[in-house]
């Protein structure tokens, strides 16, 4: 009987041979499951696919999702495992739905095989199983294998039947603090601005909620704020019974830049935020200090909290979440919650800040200085020197950090954040070398340098079709960052790079937060990128994905003007005045009307009126499609 094809999909597959985990070991492959085998191939259209591996289904002993909190160094974040013969194949799917579909289908096809009784729910990594710590790769599993059901990504309490849920929390409204993409069937997605109703908060970490479509499921409790009368115990930043002196002691002992907490003020019913900083003093030396900010309430009738400047929030968790991303008047942004008890069990999917995960991070991403050879200088940027280099027979770009421009702590934290993001349209970080002095970051090499110089150098040879392709590339990278709740903060043609295939990729994401230089971070400073900044960023440093969208509009303008400086005849101050008066960049000669309309959409005064990157990508791709067919 001829095999029947069941599923086909592009996944990322981790190499089974190599011991060291680096992004280079993750390869995109086209997978095909039929009734006889699971086959994966390399594809380079228009060439025919080259089959790289094939597993007969009868050899499979277990198929299950992988439950792990280790950073996944590729853009597909949903791993599953296929255990066959004596090998483990790790496959990374782009979404949970897709992963579930494949695991379900594979389980169905292999249910009559000679299966394992127990399996390993976590990865085999660095010579041991991350679940049971056994050091023998073929050691018996530590979890019962269910050949028909699904493993749960987390040990969630079981979701009660909707009918039997007791509304023990009344109809309390919850406001999502950030987006949340569910990892399991019993969870619900959260979207900022889309309120939901609390049904059950009996489990501290996972609350049951109902959304506006009437669906019920679990959400992480630290991702939501109660619209009225919240208790903050579930947040890592809240220390209930701690005095001002104790708070100072704890923050100073930890000594971490941006360490912070919220505590009760001496004035009953009010709260104070205490934050630690080592910001440079006027003498250029670091001066450790703790600052205390009273959380004030504006008299607006409704609850309206604010800290240093009047950015009002209807709940304290919203206010803290905002200042975790924006200093906006505080001495530093609130970076790391300092807690008198243990770290919280749930961590943000992008920014993780516990020491335990840092250890995993360095293990995985540390580059041996002996494997790194440095070559000629490529350029010097805001953050330091960039040199050509070689690492494991690959050409790489090595970025060293300028002395005193940033703290080592920050460097490590941000480098780890970068390891969390991976996409074909983002310049890939290969690893970090913390043993080098100064520390350095090792990136994929981009032969054609920065987009702005590329545009300027090839003025005559870039067609409008190519320009549109460049905008599509950048919007793809940015749509991925947006979906990962990640804000770039300095998107501009100079911060994108071009590779040997003339593909454009975004780089320097999130790096602006690192600079310890007032000239750069203050909107009045000479180095502040006013020409690329949204009005709310210039006025009160309110960064968001929508302020990145504004910058993207300016980047599109740069592309269609072949690398010209935006508002070239104006000073920074004149640019600010022009924006305040409602003026915008003029239509470039070469831009099609429909693309200029998108630019204007990016430059709407109100952030919420601007499109998302997902929408921009969709619109640009739709414009590009017919152009490519000509
Ligand atoms: P910064 O963002 O710190 O100001 P850049 O990242 O722009 O510095 O780097 C300065 C220059 O180094 C760039 O203009 C580019 O020419 C070169 N460069 C940076 N990263 C790479 C890379 N990954 N591959 C090739 N060249 C690079």
231 occurs within a structural domain:
no
For ligand 1, pick from 23, 386, 441 the residue to mutate: most ligand atoms within 8 Å of CB. 386
Residues in contact with ligand 1 (CB, 6 Å cut-off): 378-379, 381-383, 386, 397, 427, 443-446, 449-450, 495, 497, 507-508
pLDDT average, residue stretch 8-22: 71
User: Which amino acid residue places its CA nearest to atom 27 of ligand 1?
Assistant: 449
pTM of the full structure = 0.55
For ligand 1, pick from 450, 452, 489, 510 the residue to mutate: most ligand atoms within 8 Å of CB. 450
Ligand 1 atom closest to the Cα of residue 447 is 25
Structural domain total, the chain: 5
- pLDDT tens for each residue of 68-94: 767 777 888 889 999 998 889 999 998
What domain range is 531 assigned to? Answer: 451-629
13 occurs within a structural domain:
yes
Could you give the C-alpha distances from 605 to 40, 179, 334, in angstroms and in order?
A: 49, 23, 27
Identify the pLDDT of residue 628. 35
- Give backbone dihedrals phi and psi of 464, rounded to 5 degrees, phi first: -55, -30
Could you give the C-alpha distances from 262 to 229, 238, 309, 342, 365, in angstroms and in order?
A: 16, 5, 17, 16, 33
pLDDT band at residue 522, thresholds of 50, 70 and 90? low
Q: Do 515 and 546 sit in the same domain of this protein?
A: yes
587 occurs within a structural domain:
yes
User: Which amino acid residue places its CA nearest to atom 19 of ligand 1?
Assistant: 386
Of 319-323, 401-405, 408-412, 514-518, which gets the smallest average pLDDT? Answer: 514-518
Round to whole Å and give the CA distance between 106 and 58: 11
pLDDT score of 484 more than 80: no
pLDDT average, residue stretch 34-58: 89
User: Which amino acid residue places its CA nearest to atom 12 of ligand 1?
Assistant: 379
399 C-alpha to ligand 1 centroid (Å): 8
- Judging by beta carbons within 10 Å of its beta carbon (0-12, 13-18, 19+), is residue 1 exposed, middle or buried? exposed
Of 424, 384, 377, nearest in space to 10 by CA: 424
Round to whole Å and give the CA distance between 372 and 384: 18
Q: Three-state DSSP class for 483?
A: helix
Q: Which member of 230, 410, 490, 508 is catalytic?
A: 490
493 C-alpha to ligand 1 centroid (Å): 12
> Which residue, 349, 368, 394, sits at the end of a domain?
349
Q: What is the mean pLDDT of the chain?
A: 82
178 occurs within a structural domain:
yes
Portion of the chain with pLDDT greater than 90, in percent: 36
Told to judge if 169 belongs to the known catalytic residues of this protein, a careful annotator would answer: no
Give the CATH number for residue 179: 2.30.30.40
379 C-alpha to ligand 1 centroid (Å): 6
pLDDT band at residue 184, thresholds of 50, 70 and 90? low
Identify the pLDDT of residue 168. 53
Give the CATH number for residue 387: 3.30.200.20
Q: Do 613 and 465 sit in the same domain of this protein?
A: yes
506 C-alpha to ligand 1 centroid (Å): 11
Helices 613-629 and 593-602 pack at an angle, to 10 degrees, of 170
Of 6-10, 97-101, 591-595, which gets the smallest average pLDDT? Answer: 97-101
- pLDDT tens for each residue of 386-400: 999 999 888 999 988
165 occurs within a structural domain:
no
Ligand 1 atom closest to the Cα of residue 384 is 3
- pLDDT tens for each residue of 114-125: 888 888 888 888
pLDDT score of 472 more than 90: yes
Of 425, 454, 460, 428, nearest in space to 441 by CA: 428
Q: Do 437 and 557 sit in the same domain of this protein?
A: no
Of 185-194, 335-344, 432-441, 462-471, which gets the smallest average pLDDT? Answer: 335-344
396 C-alpha to ligand 1 centroid (Å): 11
Q: Do 252 and 316 sit in the same domain of this protein?
A: yes
603 occurs within a structural domain:
yes
Q: Three-state DSSP class for 107?
A: helix
Identify the pLDDT of residue 510. 58
**Look-up: residue for tokens 């602006």?**
512
User: Which amino acid residue places its CA nearest to atom 11 of ligand 1?
Assistant: 379
pLDDT score of 207 more than 80: yes
pLDDT score of 331 more than 60: yes
pLDDT average, residue stretch 334-359: 47
Identify the pLDDT of residue 6. 87
What is the H or E stretch that residue 252 is in?
helix 244-254
For ligand 1, pick from 379, 493, 496 the residue to mutate: most ligand atoms within 8 Å of CB. 379
Give the CATH number for residue 541: 1.10.510.10
pLDDT greater at residue 97 or residue 608 = 608
Q: Do 434 and 458 sit in the same domain of this protein?
A: no
User: Which amino acid residue places its CA nearest to atom 8 of ligand 1?
Assistant: 381
Q: Do 325 and 473 sit in the same domain of this protein?
A: no
388 C-alpha to ligand 1 centroid (Å): 10
Q: Do 261 and 199 sit in the same domain of this protein?
A: no
């Amino acid at each position: 009987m001829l095999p029947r094809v069941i599923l086909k999909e592009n996944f990322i597959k981790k190499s089974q041979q190599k011991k060291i985990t680096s992004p280079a070991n993750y390869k995109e492959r086209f997978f095909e499951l039929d009734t006889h085998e699971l086959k994966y191939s390399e594809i380079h259209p228009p060439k025919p696919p080259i089959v790289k591996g094939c597993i007969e289904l009868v050899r499979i002993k277990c198929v299950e999702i992988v439950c792990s909190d280790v950073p996944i160094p590729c853009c597909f974040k949903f791993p599953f495992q296929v255990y066959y013969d004596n090998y483990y194949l790790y496959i990374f799917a782009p979404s949970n739905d897709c992963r579930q579909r494949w695991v379900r289908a594979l389980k169905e096809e292999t249910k009559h095989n000679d299966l394992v009784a127990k399996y390993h729910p976590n990865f085999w990594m660095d010579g041991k199983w991350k679940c049971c710590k056994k050091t023998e790769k073929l050691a018996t599993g530590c979890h019962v294998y269910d050949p028909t059901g699904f493993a749960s990504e987390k040990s969630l309490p079981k979701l009660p039947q909707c009918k039997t849920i007791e509304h023990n929390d009344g109809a309390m409204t919850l406001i999502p603090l950030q987006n949340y993409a569910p990892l399991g069937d019993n969870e619900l997605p959260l979207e900022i601005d889309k309120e939901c109703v609390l049904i059950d908060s009996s489990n501290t970490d996972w609350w049951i909620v109902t959304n506006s479509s009437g669906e019920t499921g679990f959400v992480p409790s630290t991702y939501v704020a109660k619209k009225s009368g919240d208790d903050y115990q579930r947040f890592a930043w809240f220390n209930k019974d701690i005095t001002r002196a104790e708070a100072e002691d704890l923050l100073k002992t930890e000594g971490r830049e941006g360490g912070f907490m919220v505590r009760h003020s001496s004035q009953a019913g009010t709260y104070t935020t205490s934050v630690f900083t080592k910001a440079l003093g006027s003498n250029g030396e670091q001066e450790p200090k703790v600052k205390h900010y009273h959380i004030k309430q504006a008299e607006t009738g409704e609850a309206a909290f604010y800290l240093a400047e009047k950015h009002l929030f209807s709940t304290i968790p919203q206010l803290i979440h905002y200042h975790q991303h924006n200093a906006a008047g505080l001495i530093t942004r609130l970076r790391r919650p300092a807690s008198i008890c243990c770290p919280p069990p749930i961590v943000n999917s992008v920014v993780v800040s516990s020491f335990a995960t840092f250890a995993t991070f360095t293990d995985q991403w540390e580059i041996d200085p002996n494997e790194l050879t440095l070559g000629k200088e490529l350029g010097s940027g805001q953050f330091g020197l960039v040199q050509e280099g070689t690492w494991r027979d690959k050409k790489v770009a090595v970025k060293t950090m300028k002395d005193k421009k940033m703290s080592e702590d920050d460097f490590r934290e941000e480098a780890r954040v970068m390891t969390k993001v991976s996409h074909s349209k983002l310049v890939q970080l290969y690893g970090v070398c913390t043993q080098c002095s100064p520390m350095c970051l090792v990136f994929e090499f981009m032969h054609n340098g920065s987009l702005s110089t590329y545009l300027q150098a090839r003025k005559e040879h870039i067609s409008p079709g190519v320009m549109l392709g460049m905008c599509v590339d950048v919007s793809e990278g940015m749509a991925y960052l947006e979906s990962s709740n990640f804000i770039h903060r300095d998107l501009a043609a100079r911060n994108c790079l071009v590779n040997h295939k003339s593909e454009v990729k975004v780089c320097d994401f999130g790096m602006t937060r690192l600079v310890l230089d007032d000239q750069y971070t203050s909107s009045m400073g000479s180095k502040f990128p006013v020409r690329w900044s949204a009005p709310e960023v210039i006025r009160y440093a309110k960064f968001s994905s929508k302020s990145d969208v504004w910058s993207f509009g300016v980047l599109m303008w740069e592309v269609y003007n072949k690398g010209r400086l935006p508002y070239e005849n104006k000073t920074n101050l004149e640019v600010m005045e022009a924006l305040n008066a409602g003026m915008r960049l003029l239509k470039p000669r070469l831009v099609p009307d429909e693309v200029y309309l998108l630019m204007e959409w990016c430059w709407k005064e109100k952030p919420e009126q601007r499109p998302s990157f997902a929408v921009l990508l969709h619109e640009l791709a739709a414009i590009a499609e017919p152009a490519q067919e000509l």
